[in-house]
């Protein structure tokens, strides 16, 4: 063997040792997480079993156990039964060995189930030595980032290939051994040397030696202090919990994570490759499945509940397609989300972003067509751009010439808040439909694919698959919600927070019912007499000095402030926010906003950033239809709804701005209501609408619901409520005025 061969083997050996070191270092870091997690998880399981009454053992054995003697002995919970053990149980009068065996077997089954399902919550407000140790162990892996994960994966593959080759090539390292070896061994040794050289050259071109070295350094570097680890956890809790789920193996229910899709579709999605070359962040299991669903099915609706990371799933799809050689992508969203989309793509991928908005949008469009990347624009601006022709090229819109040739076809159209284009007669809907028809892949994203009528959902399906939309029939859902979900499975994926985010802190809803003051009652009667529905909804704030709702709101904000918590106050009405602003300002509250539809897109994000950056209590005032879309308000742990909304999804979206992946504190939601008027009617209506939404848009086990029950427009609904309230208050002779 010559020097070249020996050098090749030596290079291969060094690369092999570096690859093995990365795998070992990562394994050591993961083991540290498991060791720190174990006592916390065991304690959580003990608490869970300590809360399960002994009577639940009957459920496990289908009622075959006789537990009267056990309960009379003082053993009240499953945890106490397990702690007692067989000897103490056997001492209970009337309890034989067979009963002892059955009781313990049933208790162990519940214990096993608890071990599988109990989630660990890391309380940033009350750090303990055990949780601090876990956060510090996780910090190492979070700080190492997705590059470390990528290094480990490639190191494992490379080690598996290099190990046997180095064994075969060892023969060629010694002249005497080579001379004495047979022809077959010599040939195998020379072949191994050639393959080692090829592998090392390929690895060096890909920069793997540097990647391995950096990953090992990162994996061996711990946090500066426990405080630094907790601060980082609060900033990036979603990444910590994602890693915790991956390492512990306690992933969410597979069927729930896969949106309860039919087996044949789920299997096709599972086999879809997902390239992470251009992605800078790790995905949770359900997020990776969502990205694969979009790739495998090509034109889909991602209807995940708010707060589950639909944006990062879309970015994962973009990154995968870019790794495959695709160059042009289009994201369409409300103007308020332009900044958020730009930030997310730049922070979580290596893709180039071009914003197509404002006076220079046509020049920006031409530049994007020439250079490629991800174009981010609004629904209204999209109408002014030439749609791509199938297979490349462009279709110029009337009165607007196509830009100079350049760039390829649009590989993916992403439409955020897609429920905004559910009306087929709206120009924005027609523009999006035109682009969706001409793009090879389309991803519609919305947490509310259906609001008042299931038929609205049909239009979104029609944008993706006309044949499927036709097969659903003319009625809203002829076979009911279960059959409807099965029928749209090829294009529709939805997961709910409760199914896949076991680590989310608690969400507590409280309806705060207040009796109208005499002044409130007088203002309300005036609104009813005039037939003004919107005035009826905000009457409780028209006379601030004697407003029962406003007094309660100030108490909630004061209490939150005393606990160091931030609050978001939502209202549909600008003048209500003005009243709240004046009242809280008089109390000395630190205020941000009001955040309304008239605030420019860039300024909206700045308001949210400033609100989040403040140390200690603060209040953000927000118009619910403006701030309830797309923005991340997880700095707040208290949410106040000044009045009930007409659509349940409006409230759901607003609350989900705070209670979402990454939230580390419990969230309390207060809905302020007054008795005996429009609020009561709207609350009953919201309950009906929510049941419909659950039946058709969410996975649901509730009874079938009829969409006809609420198939009325908001204007008709307002008129009906006005008439009913006028009748209740004895104003039937008053002239009726159409609702605003």
In angstroms, how far is CA 62 from the centroid of its own chain?
38
Asked if the model's pLDDT at residue 248 lies above 50, the reply is yes
- How many angstroms separate the CA atoms of 290 and 309, rounded? 10
- Tokens, residue 269: 């999605």
* Alpha carbon separation from 145 to 15, 148, 217, 227 (Å, rounded): 22, 6, 12, 20
| pLDDT-derived band at 630, boundaries 50, 70, 90 | low
CATH number at residue 442: 3.40.50.10810
In a domain, 511, yes or no: yes
In a domain, 60, yes or no: yes
- Lowest-confidence pick of 97-106, 266-275, 711-720: 711-720
On whether both 49 and 32 belong to a single domain, the answer is: no
Q: Which is higher by pLDDT, 619 or 496?
A: 619
Task: For residue range 567-603, list pLDDT tens digits in order.
Answer: 999 999 999 999 999 999 999 999 998 988 888 877 8
Asked if the model's pLDDT at residue 246 lies above 70, the reply is yes
In a domain, 672, yes or no: yes
Question: Which domain range does residue 647 map to?
Answer: 503-728
Give the DSSP per-residue string, 303-338: -PPTTS-HHHHHHHHHHHHHHTT--EEEEEE-GGGH
Q: Which of 499, 530, 552 is the last residue of a domain?
A: 499
pTM above 0.75, yes or no: no
On whether both 488 and 507 belong to a single domain, the answer is: no
In a domain, 528, yes or no: yes
- pLDDT above 70 covers what percent of the chain? 86
On whether both 516 and 421 belong to a single domain, the answer is: no
Position 481 scores a pLDDT of 62
Q: What is the mean pLDDT of residues 79-106?
A: 90
- Tokens, residue 531: 């037939």
On whether both 365 and 482 belong to a single domain, the answer is: yes
In a domain, 593, yes or no: yes
Position 697 scores a pLDDT of 53
Position 404 scores a pLDDT of 31
Domain count, the chain: 4
| pLDDT-derived band at 181, boundaries 50, 70, 90 | low
Q: Which of 95, 117, 139 is the last residue of a domain?
A: 117
Q: What is the mean pLDDT of residues 432-452?
A: 83
- How many angstroms separate the CA atoms of 307 and 448, rounded? 12
Q: Which of 442, 474, 499 is the last residue of a domain?
A: 499
- How many angstroms separate the CA atoms of 467 and 227, rounded? 57
Q: Which is higher by pLDDT, 190 or 421?
A: 421
The answer to whether 165 and 192 are in contact (CB under 8 A) is yes
Position 34 scores a pLDDT of 95
Position 292 scores a pLDDT of 97
Beta partners for residue 246, in sequence order: none
The answer to whether 486 and 519 are in contact (CB under 8 A) is no
Residue 405, SS3 per DSSP? coil
Q: What is the mean pLDDT of residues 346-375?
A: 94
Position 559 scores a pLDDT of 85
On whether both 206 and 330 belong to a single domain, the answer is: no
Position 167 scores a pLDDT of 87
- How many angstroms separate the CA atoms of 173 and 366, rounded? 60
Query: Per residue in 292-325, is it b (16+ CB within 10 Å) or e — as a string?
Result: bbbbbbbbbbbbbbbbbbbbbbbbbbbbbbbbee
CATH number at residue 83: 1.10.150.20
Position 396 scores a pLDDT of 45
Task: For residue range 519-573, list pLDDT tens digits in order.
Answer: 999 999 999 999 999 999 999 999 999 999 999 999 999 988 887 889 999 999 9
Which of 460, 464, 419, 439 minimizes the C-alpha distance to 375? 439
The answer to whether 315 and 445 are in contact (CB under 8 A) is no
Position 596 scores a pLDDT of 86
- How many angstroms separate the CA atoms of 151 and 15, rounded? 12
Asked if the model's pLDDT at residue 94 lies above 50, the reply is yes
Q: What is the mean pLDDT of residues 673-694?
A: 75
Position 631 scores a pLDDT of 63
Position 1 scores a pLDDT of 53
On whether both 32 and 49 belong to a single domain, the answer is: no
On whether both 141 and 109 belong to a single domain, the answer is: no
Position 703 scores a pLDDT of 26
In a domain, 733, yes or no: no
Position 104 scores a pLDDT of 92
Q: Which is higher by pLDDT, 235 or 192?
A: 192
CATH number at residue 532: 3.40.50.300
| pLDDT-derived band at 608, boundaries 50, 70, 90 | confident
On whether both 52 and 11 belong to a single domain, the answer is: no
- How many angstroms separate the CA atoms of 663 and 608, rounded? 15
Which of 103, 123, 100 minimizes the C-alpha distance to 43? 123
| pLDDT-derived band at 365, boundaries 50, 70, 90 | very high
In a domain, 545, yes or no: yes
Q: Mean of the per-residue pLDDT values for the chain?
A: 84
| pLDDT-derived band at 390, boundaries 50, 70, 90 | low
Beta partners for residue 443, in sequence order: 300, 414
In a domain, 333, yes or no: yes
On whether both 474 and 383 belong to a single domain, the answer is: yes
Other Cβ atoms less than 10 A from the Cβ of 577: the count is 23
On whether both 430 and 400 belong to a single domain, the answer is: yes
On whether both 113 and 228 belong to a single domain, the answer is: no
- Tokens, residue 677: 């008027």
Which of 236, 234, 306 minimizes the C-alpha distance to 627? 306
Q: What is the mean pLDDT of residues 649-676?
A: 81
On whether both 477 and 384 belong to a single domain, the answer is: yes
């Amino acid at each position: 063997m010559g020097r070249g061969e020996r050098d090749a083997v030596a290079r291969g050996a060094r690369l092999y040792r570096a690859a093995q070191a990365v795998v070992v270092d990562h394994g050591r870091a993961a083991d540290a997480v498991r060791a720190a997690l174990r006592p916390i998880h065991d304690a959580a399981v003990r608490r869970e079993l300590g809360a399960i009454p002994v009577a639940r053992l009957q459920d496990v054995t289908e009622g075959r156990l006789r537990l009267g003697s056990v309960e009379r002995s003082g053993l009240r919970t499953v945890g106490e039964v397990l702690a007692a053990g067989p000897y103490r149980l056997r001492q209970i009068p009337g309890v034989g060995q067979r009963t002892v065996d059955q009781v313990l077997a049933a208790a162990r089954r519940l214990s096993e189930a608890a071990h599988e399902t109990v989630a660990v919550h890391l309380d940033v407000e009350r750090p303990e030595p055990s949780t601090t140790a876990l956060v510090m162990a996780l910090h190492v892996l979070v700080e190492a980032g997705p590059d470390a994960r990528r290094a480990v994966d490639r190191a494992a593959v490379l080690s598996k290939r290099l190990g046997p080759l180095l064994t075969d090539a060892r023969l060629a390292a010694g002249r005497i051994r080579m001379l004495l070896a047979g022809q077959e061994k010599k040939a195998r040794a020379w072949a191994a040397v050639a393959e080692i050289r090829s592998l090392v050259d390929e690895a060096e071109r890909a920069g793997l030696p540097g990647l391995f070295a950096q990953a090992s350094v990162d994996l061996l570097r711990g946090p500066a202090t426990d405080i630094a680890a907790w601060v980082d956890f609060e900033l990036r809790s979603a990444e910590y919990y994602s890693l915790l789920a991956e390492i512990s193996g306690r992933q969410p229910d597979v069927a729930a994570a896969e949106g309860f899709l039919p087996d044949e579709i789920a299997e096709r999605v599972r086999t879809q490759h997902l390239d992470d070359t251009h992605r800078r962040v790790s995905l949770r299991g359900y997020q990776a499945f969502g990205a694969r669903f979009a790739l495998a099915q090509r034109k889909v609706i991602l209807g995940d509940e708010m707060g589950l990371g639909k944006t990062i799933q879309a970015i994962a799809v973009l990154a995968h397609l870019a790794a495959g050689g695709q160059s042009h992508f289009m994201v369409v969203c409300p103007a308020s989300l332009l900044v958020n989309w730009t930030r997310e793509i730049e922070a979580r991928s290596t893709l180039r972003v071009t914003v197509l908005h404002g006076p220079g949008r046509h020049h920006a469009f031409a530049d994007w067509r020439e250079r490629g990347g991800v174009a981010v624009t609004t629904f209204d601006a999209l109408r002014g751009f030439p749609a791509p022709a199938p297979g490349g090229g462009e279709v110029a819109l009337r009165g607007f010439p196509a830009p100079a040739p350049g760039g390829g076809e649009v590989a993916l159209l992403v439409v955020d808040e897609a429920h905004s284009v559910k009306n087929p007669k709206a120009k924005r809907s027609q523009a999006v439909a035109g682009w969706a028809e001409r793009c090879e892949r389309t991803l519609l994203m919305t947490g509310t694919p259906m609001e008042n009528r299931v038929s609205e959902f049909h239009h979104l399906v029609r944008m993706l698959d006309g044949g499927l939309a036709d097969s659903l029939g003319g009625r809203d859902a002829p076979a009911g919600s279960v059959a409807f979900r099965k029928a749209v499975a090829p294009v529709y994926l939805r997961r709910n927070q409760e199914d896949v985010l076991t680590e989310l802190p608690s969400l507590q809803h409280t309806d705060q019912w207040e009796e109208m003051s005499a002044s409130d009652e007088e203002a309300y009667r005036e609104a009813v007499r005039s037939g003004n529905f919107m005035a009826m909804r905000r009457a409780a704030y028209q006379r601030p000095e004697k407003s029962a709702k406003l007094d309660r709101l100030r108490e909630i904000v004061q209490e939150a402030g005393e606990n160091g918590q931030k609050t978001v106050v939502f209202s549909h009405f600008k003048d209500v926010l003005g009243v709240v602003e004046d009242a809280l300002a008089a109390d000395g509250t630190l205020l941000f906003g009001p955040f309304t539809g008239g605030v420019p897109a860039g300024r909206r994000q700045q308001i949210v950033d400033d609100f989040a950056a403040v140390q200690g209590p603060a209040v953000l005032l927000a118009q619910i239809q403006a701030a309830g879309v797309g923005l991340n308000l997880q700095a707040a742990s208290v949410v106040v709804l000044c009045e009930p909304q007409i659509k349940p999804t409006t409230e759901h979206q607003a609350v989900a701005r705070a209670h979402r992946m990454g939230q580390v504190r419990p969230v309390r939601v207060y809905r302020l209501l007054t008795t005996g008027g429009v609020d009561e009617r709207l609350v009953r209506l919201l309950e009906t609408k929510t049941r419909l939404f659950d039946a058709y848009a969410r996975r649901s086990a509730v009874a079938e619901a009829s969409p006809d029950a609420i198939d009325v427009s908001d204007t008709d609904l307002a008129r009906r409520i006005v008439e009913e309230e006028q009748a209740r208050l004895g104003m039937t002779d008053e002239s009726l005025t159409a609702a605003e």
